[in-house]
Structure 1
Amino acid sequence: MPTTYYLAWWNLENLFDEENSPRRTEKLARALGDDLAGWTPQLRDRKVSQLASVIAQMNGGAGPDLLGVCEVENRFVLELLAAAVADRLGGRRYEIVHADTGDARGIDVAFLYDPALLTAPAGQVFFHVVMRRNATREIVQVNFQTRTGRTWAVFGNHWPSRSGGQYESAGYRAIAGETLAYFHQRVREEHGQDTAALAMGDFNDEPFDTSLVAHALSTRQAVRVINADTPRFWNLMWPAAGTPEGTFYFQNEPNLLDQFLVNANMARPTSPLHANPDSVRILRFPELVHTGDYPRPRPFGGMGASVDETGYSDHFPIAMTVTETD
């Protein structure tokens, strides 16, 4: 019987531990300064509850099988989130892969996954440094094993931001794109040319930007990926790029920063592990969306911004399905 996996990605917008957390290093505490002033355990737990209420709605109320997240401070807040989601789903359990990166703000990339469907073997989790003068998030690679024992390389991405200017900072995202493309190639060399690979994340660029097209080697055409001699990605978010919707709004302008990319071994409908492109969605549950002229996400706030305890994140989540045949 085929197995369908429900995947999601969400930038959780500064899911930080409490203001005076004993789990925070002195170095990070100095870097954050007063940004977390007033961020009480109660506010942290309220944000966790808000996020969990959305995650539990995914997949028709069954929750995602694999969830990639970014802007989380540490494993502790991830454990709180996983437990809160499990409570809403009647005890469904999630395991965690977390990269404790050297990012200047202490925000990390992680995966939550259902161990009944996927395993993350010891020695098959990698944290790839994106070289930059200032520390930034690493690309997290997990070579998951599926229920049939297939290797499925999944990359979690949170590329350098556009702070300082979109074009002034573009070189940093080009480096991230090159890093992703290099390790995609290494997957094929180490695990075989038929290995399925998927990249998900907040790329801080849109599908048509140079970092994704020229450096990560992604394209809007499945056939170019399937026929290419070099490892390429099919960017599944291109259809959404032609709509008024986005996953993040800057000055009320929609940006499609959160994306799914799949390689040739997931682009072919006949592949044992293949993506379902028609399933790709920006998840805009009614409570996530601001009312008014600009249907942007509803942030929870914090980190110096005003807090809305009825908010969630400044990004919408995205989701898709992948089917594995016997």
Structure 2
Amino acid sequence: MVKHHIYWWNLENLFDIENSPRRSSFLNDKLKSELKDWNINILNQKLDNLVTIISKFNSDNGPDILGVCEVENEFVIEQLIAKMNASLNRAYGFVISESEDKRGIDTALIYDTALYGPDQTTFSLRIIKRNSTRDLFQVHLNTANGNKLILVLNHWPSRSGGELNSEPFRIMVAENLAYWIERIHEEQENPSIVLMGDFNDNPFNRSINEYLMAKNNRALVKSNRVKLRYLYNLMYRFLDAQLGTFVFNSTLNILDQFIVSKTILSEKTEYPFKISTVDIIAYPELVKGTYKKPVRYGRPNASNFNPDGYSDHLPIALVLNEKE
């Protein structure tokens, strides 16, 4: 039995340095106040902090696969991976979705190149809601056993402006993703699909439950009597656990989620991947207070700056078993 240790983490504004030559002049102007004093030392400190946590994943062996969001460009991912490789003595590679997000933040997938084939395939779907949203980013990884794992990275529109006012934008993305899932099934019989991301909605919200059709009903998802492509949301178990991946005004939210296709949920032996465990990572240094609020790094020109911090989201972990 082969185990695949998969993680997701919103890294909260992992930007390139202030006035970076790698950033367009338009975006430099737009982010001017936000990036004031964000220099190479500040960036390196945040990267070091993140890597101290990432290196603890998988019993101090590091992740096999790590999906991230709120990363600006290839440069910051390359810096992160260099530190991960040095700390963990592994050979990580990555693929990134360069979207047209108005703040220049994207999603990326980091993976151990010794475990997954070099012929990975990527697709991006750009959704327009007046301005472009962050892309839905699909990556196919081939395992050493010759099985294909389809990973779809998500960073849905934020709740800025209010949860209800912004909900239609997340519903729009959910509808597009549900259609995309249908297309994957048309291209491949019985695909093994893992959705991961910051969905900016909870598992019970309409966008995920009704429009993406990611449910907490195993029998429904596994049933052969329904034609709809129901998905299974692995995060419902945490709704009563007094732990969230994001805390807002003392309210716990499970915004970061793993959602899987029927084949991964099924017990049928012909399907290669099975769920082993799923967790929210809440190491003591990552959280504070009664509500276990994530310890933020923040910005150097803001009152919330904490050089010992990490992110405003907690990471999540999924272990899949693969038959040999």
CA distance in 1, matches of 2:264, 2:300: 39
CA distance in 1, matches of 2:301, 2:172: 30
The answer for unaligned runs of 5 or more in structure 1 is none
Counterpart for residue 218 of structure 1: 214
User: What secondary structure does 1:168 align onto?
Assistant: helix
Higher deviation after alignment, 20-29 or 103-112: 20-29
User: What secondary structure does 1:130 align onto?
Assistant: coil
Counterpart for residue 297 of structure 1: 294
Counterpart for residue 114 of structure 1: 112
CA distance in 2, matches of 1:276, 1:150: 15
Alignment of 1:133 with 2:130, yes or no, is yes
Alignment of 1:241-320 (within 5 A): 241-271=239-269, 272-276=271-275, 279-290=277-288, 292-302=289-299, 305=302, 306-320=304-318
Alignment of 1:236 with 2:225, yes or no, is no
User: What secondary structure does 2:169 align onto?
Assistant: helix
Could you tell me the TM-score, scaled by structure 2's length? 0.95
Alignment of 1:21 with 2:17, yes or no, is no
1:67 Cα offset (Å): 0.4
Alignment of 1:37-76 (within 5 A): 37-76=36-75
1:288 Cα offset (Å): 0.5
Alignment root-mean-square deviation, CA: 1.4
CA distance in 1, matches of 2:49, 2:236: 29
CA distance in 1, matches of 2:198, 2:114: 27
Counterpart for residue 184 of structure 1: 181
1:304 Cα offset (Å): 5.4
Instruction: Please tell me the residue identity of whatever aligns with 2:15.
Output: F
CA distance in 2, matches of 1:304, 1:103: 23
Instruction: Describe the superposition over 1:26-57 as per-residue Cα deviations: whole angstroms up to 9, x where unpaired.
Output: 12112213210011100000000100110110
Alignment of 1:71-150 (within 5 A): 71-89=70-88, 91-119=89-117, 121=119, 124-150=121-147
Runs of 4+ displaced beyond 6 Å: none
Instruction: Describe the superposition over 1:95-149 as per-residue Cα deviations: whole angstroms up to 9, x where unpaired.
Output: 1010011000000001000112223636x20111122112221010012212222
CA distance in 2, matches of 1:231, 1:196: 13
User: What secondary structure does 2:293 align onto?
Assistant: coil
CA distance in 2, matches of 1:232, 1:46: 42
CA distance in 1, matches of 2:6, 2:220: 24
Instruction: Please tell me the residue identity of whatever aligns with 2:215.
Output: T
8 Å contact 1:14–1:303 — kept in the other structure? no
8 Å contact 1:273–1:322 — kept in the other structure? no
Instruction: Describe the superposition over 1:195-246 as per-residue Cα deviations: whole angstroms up to 9, x where unpaired.
Output: 1111000000000000001111100012211113221210000010122110
8 Å contact 2:37–2:301 — kept in the other structure? no
Instruction: Please tell me the residue identity of whatever aligns with 2:63.
Output: P
Could you tell me the TM-score, scaled by structure 1's length? 0.95
1:151 Cα offset (Å): 2.1
Counterpart for residue 2 of structure 2: 3
Count the aligned residue pairs.
320
CA distance in 1, matches of 2:267, 2:85: 33
Instruction: Please tell me the residue identity of whatever aligns with 2:165.
Output: E
The answer for unaligned runs of 5 or more in structure 2 is none
The percent identity for this pair of structures is 38
8 Å contact 2:203–2:235 — kept in the other structure? yes
CA distance in 1, matches of 2:186, 2:290: 49
1:256 Cα offset (Å): 0.6
CA distance in 2, matches of 1:110, 1:304: 27
8 Å contact 1:153–1:187 — kept in the other structure? no
Counterpart for residue 151 of structure 1: 148
Q: Cα gap change, 1:254/1:267 in structure 2, threshold over 3 Å: closer, same or farther?
A: same
